[in-house]
Amino acid sequence: MNKMRYILCVLAALCVVLASCRDEDIIYIPDEVEVSRPEFTDVKGFFLLNEGNMNSNKCTLDYYDYTTGTYSRNIYPLFNPTVVMNLGDVGNDIQVYGSKIWAVINCSNKVTVMNRKLPTFIKDIDIPNCRYIRFHKGYAYVTSYAGPVQKVERKYQQQGYVAKIDTATLEVVGRCLVGYQPDELEIVDDMIYVANSGGYDLNNLETTISVIDIASFREVERIEIAPNLHRVRCDHRGVLWITSRGGLIETMPPCLVAYDTRKRRVVAHFDDFPVGDMWLDGDRLYTVGEAWNEELQEWSGMAFRIIDTATMTIASDCFITDGTDAQFRHPYGIAVNPVTKDILVTDAMDYITPGWLRCYGQDGVLKWQVRTGDIPAHILFD
Amino acid sequence: MRRTLYLLAALWAAATAWAQEVPEATLDTLVTIDEVVVWGIRPFSEVIPAQRLSGVQLEALGSHNVADAIRYFAGIQLKDYGGVGGIKTVDMRSMGSNHMGVFYDGIQLGNAQNGQIDLGKFSLDNIDEIALYSGQRSDIFQPARDFGNAGTIYLKTKRPRFKDGRRDNLTATVRTGSFGLFNPSVRWEHRLADNLSFSLNGELTLANGKYHFRYRRRFSDGTPAWDTTAVRHNGDIQALRFEGAIFGSMNGGSWNAKLYYYDSERGIPGAIVNNVWLNSQRQWDRNFFAQGTFKRRISDHYETMFNAKYARDRMRYVNPDTTLLLLDNTFWQNEVYLSTANKFTILPDWDMNLAVDYKWNSLDATLDNFARPTRHTTLAALATQWAWHGLKAQASGLLTLINDRHSTMRGEEVVSHSNKWLTKFTPALFVSYQPFEAHDFNVRAFAKRIFRMPTFNDLYYTDIGNATLRPEFVTQYNVGLQYQRANARGFLAALKLTADAYYNRVTDKILAVPSGRGQYRWMMMNIGKVEIRGIDLTARAAFRLAKDVELDLNANYTYQRAEDMTDPADTGYGGTYRGQIAYVPWHSGSVIGQLTWRELGVNYSFIYVGERYHVSANIPANHEQPWYTHDMGAHYTFRWGRHSLKVAGEVNNVFNQQYDVILNYPMPGRNYRLTLTWSL
């Protein structure tokens, strides 16, 4: 009798443990947050691509609807519930061309094409280690780090390339080798300008822009700019604004360089000018960046600057005027609403937890802010 | 008869063990019987005894490795990347795996490079006992290094034991089953003289590491949205382990020396993300060490112990995947360790120990601009232990003196040399009290402050390392109860219950944070702060169900609130402040049961890890489902003459649960194993 009681007690305890349950993983339902009052202009809203940390597969797409003032986090699974493993790992760029949105998903080695009206999946185009995308006359051009490999003195070197995709068939139709670890690209007068970084090897950083002639799809020239190039944007005068992340030593601080494609020379140079992201709006180049002190191994200040591209001077040393710039941990991405000229700035926080999106008026006062996904980075106006 | 005697002996020992030093020989005899019959209460000289797994319990866990076995302790979280070759490290009471010390036959396994000891590398094949201590082993007669961790795991390998005047023991084992596993091992023990014996042990592990895994999502009405099954690739392993040990004893003392060699090549299966179902990274490890211990009681008042070790490790990591940064890096580590511990018995109930250790570590690598660091560590520990009636107390102080040297390189050119000194003093206090002489019931408490040094990777790994890092500190407080009894007859053979509540604070936690040197670069910084409040409960009971039928049950439960206190401003939706830190479940627990009838044994084990978040922003997007696995097995031993053959079969993860321990690292579903062990 006594024995039975013991055994029953033990069995009862086991049942409690075994009954502990586990939910089914349900498709993510977007969080919707009211962040501001509705606004009615030609710009209906914007998409924000959150990069997500490497290996997390947490690249997500958010949408802000100006007409309702509602911010929706992680909308892709709702529109594409049957797509296996969602958008992918590390989103690096998002652009629109015609009726389609193109998202470059770096660590998933693909470019995802979706509809513009509703972001429903059309096709994945495999491009290994793809970085940035631009369009020109029916073709998409995508930079990739993953070109041919050479082994030089025990070390690997891997040239980068630009892939050419036919936007009608969504097939890769060509590739053109450039420098090591090419990042942004810009297309001016039927020429592609590619910012080579060489960032995989800090002892041998790239310092050049590769120029590709679109007609022959061959690299025709290298232009010496600065070490570790990252972004390149062209203003309406044909001047390229090129950012350099800088090198490891003090003699190579980050800088911003203006290169005139028509005069074929550097026309302005802003030294010690860190730019993480920038946005061209007319004659104004909005930049965000952070300075790094190599000696002290710490961040030594954030910069929210505006450059006047007409005069090539700094128009504003800090476009945030209400002191909320101090709330930023790592300013990461920037965009300017083409109609209202509101400035959108993202904060990547610690890169592994959700970041922030902050909206400022032209007066530099915070209008609204909202939590995003992990590493909010790239904004595309709808 | 033998059992009754043993239990009586155990009862006596438990009652009188208070201040008495139980000679190791006695313990070993007890343990020997332990394996044959049933477990009993172990006499202890420690203020707060360990959680232990040995004998039948280890057998019940079948062919798992050490990491799998450690999951069954209270307060432990295992980081498991899955499969036979996947890396497995443990974290105790959420303090971080770098705060754990792992000791192999009394001497710590070091990894100055990254501080991580992959416990998946150690098979249970050669292990006699695993003991886990919170704080430190509160037995004062130990090297200074044993005082220097926030939690400690002691792995004790099998020692030769010779029955009926035999001179040789021979055991051959072969395992096979899922994951393409072929795992033979041989062990030979030989007695050279009455007080001198040796053992040789070799093991080969071959596995292709392939298994199916399934990821799926459903609509809220339960219909499938997507459902995909794939094969886990690049989880293969080829490993060879060889150990040789020699054991000697003399009047009032003993010594042993051992050699260890491990050589492996494995695939690193990597994270499964959209469009990446295959990874190709490889790792080669070669670990060698030689170590020795000498221990002798010189007089009633003085006992001394020497330890020495030399270790050399080589690790090569290759990323041949052209879609990622191509890498082929090799790292070499060296360690030299010398220790002396001296116990003085001042009064019969009052002991002092003075231990001094010296350790030298170096790391070299094929990385660009590599700093080639070396570290000299001198540790001095002074400890005292005192017993008075039911009260037992131990106080210890550890003085750590560290000298780090490295060079700043730019290409082949040495830019500068750096030489840094660090001195720290860290105390610990352990107390236990037995209020009733007739009952083995104890109240216990401890407080300890300790730190971990930044590893060589934290400090000097090219581009990621940060030479300005400070040590990461942990302060621990623990109060608890323990009750145990053993009955010579009756249904309940033995019972042991423990309950502990604790509060830990981790400050200056070393975390990877984004750094300013371009794309995807990270750097280590002392920015984290964590507060952990927890409860560990353990219960163990042995029952005599019928004649020759015994049931042994062991259950653990842990509750933990491990809060991220790093950034008080980061609050609201998606904020990290006071969020549960990454991968720490609020609730976790385990059950191990073994039923034995003569030569037949049936095992069952269950493990439960409750819901968690993979970062300290506790929002639905970061939520991880609970997981729980049921493992079952049975074994039977055939005997004829001096030969015996044990046949064991297991089914692990019986209900084929698909789960991740680490985000995007799928774990194996149901898997099988068959083990044949022949002994002479």
Residue from B214, B229, B274 whose CB has the most chain A CBs within 10 Å, to mutate: B274
Q: Say which of B273, B492, B553 has its CB closest to residue A85.
A: B273
At A1 the pLDDT is 45
Cα distances (angstroms) measured from residue A168 to each of A98, A111, A121, A132, A175: 11, 15, 16, 19, 17
Contacts of A22 in chain B (CB under 8 A): 625-628, 657
Binning pLDDT at 50, 70 and 90, where does residue A14 land?
low
Residue from A8, A149, A350 whose CB has the most chain B CBs within 10 Å, to mutate: A350
Average pLDDT over residues B152-179: 92
Q: Return d(Cα B285, Cα B311) in angstroms, integer.
A: 13
A 88-107 near B (Cβ less than 8 A): 88-89, 105, 107
Q: Say which of A14, A228, A353 has its CB closest to residue B617.
A: A353
Nearest Cα of chain A lies from the Cα of B171 at a distance, in angstroms, of: 36
Nearest Cα of chain A lies from the Cα of B602 at a distance, in angstroms, of: 16
Report yes or no: A20 at the B interface, CB cutoff 8 Å. Answer: yes
Binning pLDDT at 50, 70 and 90, where does residue B527 land?
confident
Q: Which residue in chain B is spatially nearest to A249 when comparing CA positions?
A: B410
Q: Say which of B273, B513, B619 has its CB closest to residue A107.
A: B273
At A7 the pLDDT is 57
DSSP per residue, A145-208: S---EEEETTEEEEEEEEEEEETTTTEEEEEEEEEESEEEEEEETTEEEEEE--TT-TTS---E
Nearest Cα of chain A lies from the Cα of B611 at a distance, in angstroms, of: 9
For the record, the structure tokens of A245 come out as 């992340």
Q: What are phi and psi of B13, to 5 degrees?
A: -65, -45
* Residue A343 and residue A304 in contact, taking contact as beta carbons nearer than 8 Å: no
Average pLDDT over residues B262-280: 92
Q: Do A56 and B276 touch (CB under 8 A)?
A: no
Q: Return d(Cα B456, Cα B355) in angstroms, integer.
A: 26
Q: Do A60 and B621 touch (CB under 8 A)?
A: yes
Average pLDDT over residues B460-485: 89
Q: Which of A199-208, B176-185, B551-560, B562-571 has the lowest mean pLDDT?
A: A199-208
A 205-234 near B (Cβ less than 8 A): 228, 230
Q: Return d(Cα A36, Cα A359) in angstroms, integer.
A: 10
At B524 the pLDDT is 84
At A202 the pLDDT is 80
Crossing angle between the packed helical segments B24-36 and B2-16, to the nearest 10 degrees:
140
Q: Return d(Cα B446, Cα A59) in angstroms, integer.
A: 45
Q: Return d(Cα A330, Cα A350) in angstroms, integer.
A: 8
DSSP per residue, A46-112: EEEEE---TTTT--EEEEEETTTTEEEE--HHHH-TTSTTSS-S-EEEEEEETTEEEEEEGGGTEEE
pLDDT digits (tens, 9 = 90+) for A186-201: 999 999 999 999 988 8
Q: Return d(Cα A71, Cα A31) in angstroms, integer.
A: 8
Q: Which residues contact B23 (CB under 8 A, 6 or more apart)?
A: none
Report yes or no: A60 at the B interface, CB cutoff 8 Å. Answer: yes
* Residue B169 and residue B186 in contact, taking contact as beta carbons nearer than 8 Å: no
Report yes or no: A251 at the B interface, CB cutoff 8 Å. Answer: no
Q: Which residue in chain A is spatially nearest to B326 when comparing CA positions?
A: A156
Q: Return d(Cα B34, Cα B2) in angstroms, integer.
A: 11
Q: Which of A21-35, A246-260, B43-57, B222-236 has the lowest mean pLDDT?
A: B43-57
Q: Do A108 and B274 touch (CB under 8 A)?
A: yes
Residue from A34, A84, A245 whose CB has the most chain B CBs within 10 Å, to mutate: A84
At A6 the pLDDT is 60
- Cα dihedral: B238, B239, B240, B246 (round 10): -170
Which residue(s) pair with B495 in the sheet?
Answer: B485, B541
Binning pLDDT at 50, 70 and 90, where does residue B20 land?
very low
Q: Which residues contact B175 (CB under 8 A, 6 or more apart)?
A: B63, B181, B182, B183, B184, B673, B674, B675, B676
Binning pLDDT at 50, 70 and 90, where does residue B457 land?
confident
Residue from B323, B328, B492 whose CB has the most chain A CBs within 10 Å, to mutate: B323
pLDDT digits (tens, 9 = 90+) for B104-150: 999 999 888 888 888 888 888 888 999 999 999 988 899 999 999 99
At B331 the pLDDT is 95
* Residue B34 and residue B55 in contact, taking contact as beta carbons nearer than 8 Å: yes
* Residue pairs spanning A and B at CB distance below 8 A: 192
Lookup result for tokens 């976790």: B588
Report yes or no: A25 at the B interface, CB cutoff 8 Å. Answer: yes
Is the pLDDT assigned to residue A75 strictly greater than 90? yes
Contacts of B228 in chain A (CB under 8 A): 84-85
Lookup result for tokens 């477990």: B39
Q: What are phi and psi of B50, to 5 degrees?
A: -85, 165
Compute chain B's Rg from CA coordinates: 25
At A366 the pLDDT is 97
pLDDT digits (tens, 9 = 90+) for B309-333: 999 999 999 999 988 888 899 999 9
Q: Return d(Cα B650, Cα B674) in angstroms, integer.
A: 6
Q: Do A2 and B491 touch (CB under 8 A)?
A: yes
Q: Which residue in chain A is spatially nearest to B511 when comparing CA positions?
A: A350
Nearest Cα of chain A lies from the Cα of B495 at a distance, in angstroms, of: 13
Q: Do B628 and A20 touch (CB under 8 A)?
A: yes
At A52 the pLDDT is 93
Q: Say which of A146, A199, A297 has its CB closest to residue B466.
A: A297
For the record, the structure tokens of B258 come out as 């051992």
Q: Say which of B543, B573, B664 has its CB closest to residue A55.
A: B664
Contacts of A72 in chain B (CB under 8 A): none
Share of chain B above pLDDT 70, in %: 92
SS3 content of chain B, % helix, strand, coil (to 5): 10, 60, 30
Residue from A4, A18, A27, A55 whose CB has the most chain B CBs within 10 Å, to mutate: A55
Nearest Cα of chain A lies from the Cα of B489 at a distance, in angstroms, of: 14
DSSP per residue, B145-200: GGGS-SEEEEEEE------TT-SEEEEEEEEEEGGGEEEEEEEEEEEEETTEEEEE
Share of chain A above pLDDT 90, in %: 81
At A113 the pLDDT is 98
Q: Say which of A77, A154, A199 has its CB closest to residue B518.
A: A199
Q: Which of B206-220, B295-309, B503-517 has the lowest mean pLDDT?
A: B503-517
Q: What are phi and psi of A209, to 5 degrees?
A: -100, 130
Q: Do B215 and A85 touch (CB under 8 A)?
A: yes
Distance of CA B471 to the CA centre of its chain: 22
Residue from B369, B416, B519, B586 whose CB has the most chain A CBs within 10 Å, to mutate: B519
pLDDT digits (tens, 9 = 90+) for A185-243: 999 999 999 999 998 888 889 999 999 999 999 999 999 999 999 999 999 999 999 99
Is the pLDDT assigned to residue B71 strictly greater than 90? no
* Residue B69 and residue B61 in contact, taking contact as beta carbons nearer than 8 Å: yes
Q: Do B273 and A87 touch (CB under 8 A)?
A: no
Average pLDDT over residues B615-620: 94
pLDDT digits (tens, 9 = 90+) for A145-165: 999 998 877 778 899 999 999
pLDDT digits (tens, 9 = 90+) for B24-42: 333 332 333 333 333 444 4
Q: Say which of A54, A128, A330 has its CB closest to residue B520.
A: A54
Contacts of B219 in chain A (CB under 8 A): 26-27, 81
Contacts of B591 in chain A (CB under 8 A): 14, 17
Q: Which residue in chain A is spatially nearest to B221 when comparing CA positions?
A: A26
At B45 the pLDDT is 67
Contacts of B415 in chain A (CB under 8 A): none
Q: Which residue in chain B is spatially nearest to A248 when comparing CA positions?
A: B517
* Residue B204 and residue B264 in contact, taking contact as beta carbons nearer than 8 Å: no
Q: Exposure string (b/e) for A219-249, b if CB count within 10 Å is 16 or more?
A: beebbebbbbbbbbbbbeeebbbbbbbbbbe
Q: Which residue in chain A is spatially nearest to B624 when comparing CA positions?
A: A25
pLDDT digits (tens, 9 = 90+) for B329-381: 999 999 999 999 999 999 988 999 999 999 999 999 998 888 899 999 999 99
Give the helix/strand (H/E) hosting A360: strand A354-360
Report yes or no: A18 at the B interface, CB cutoff 8 Å. Answer: yes
Contacts of A73 in chain B (CB under 8 A): 621
Q: Which residue in chain B is spatially nearest to A356 when comparing CA positions?
A: B574
At B520 the pLDDT is 54
Per-chain mean pLDDT for chain B:
88
Is the pLDDT assigned to residue B516 strictly greater than 70? no
DSSP per residue, B52-104: EEEHHHHHHTTT-BHHHHHTTSTTEEEEE--SSSS-EEEEETTS-GGGEEEEE
Q: Return d(Cα B143, Cα B309) in angstroms, integer.
A: 13
Contacts of B628 in chain A (CB under 8 A): 20, 22
Average pLDDT over residues A272-286: 95
Q: Which residue in chain B is spatially nearest to A274 when comparing CA positions?
A: B516
Residue A14 vs residue A346, higher pLDDT: A346
Burial class (CB in 10 A: 0-12, 13-18, 19+), A296: exposed
Contacts of A350 in chain B (CB under 8 A): 513-514, 576
* Residue B656 and residue B211 in contact, taking contact as beta carbons nearer than 8 Å: no
Q: Which residue in chain A is spatially nearest to B613 when comparing CA positions?
A: A353
Average pLDDT over residues A305-328: 96
Most confident of the ranges A242-246, B499-503, B526-530: B499-503
Q: Do A84 and B466 touch (CB under 8 A)?
A: no
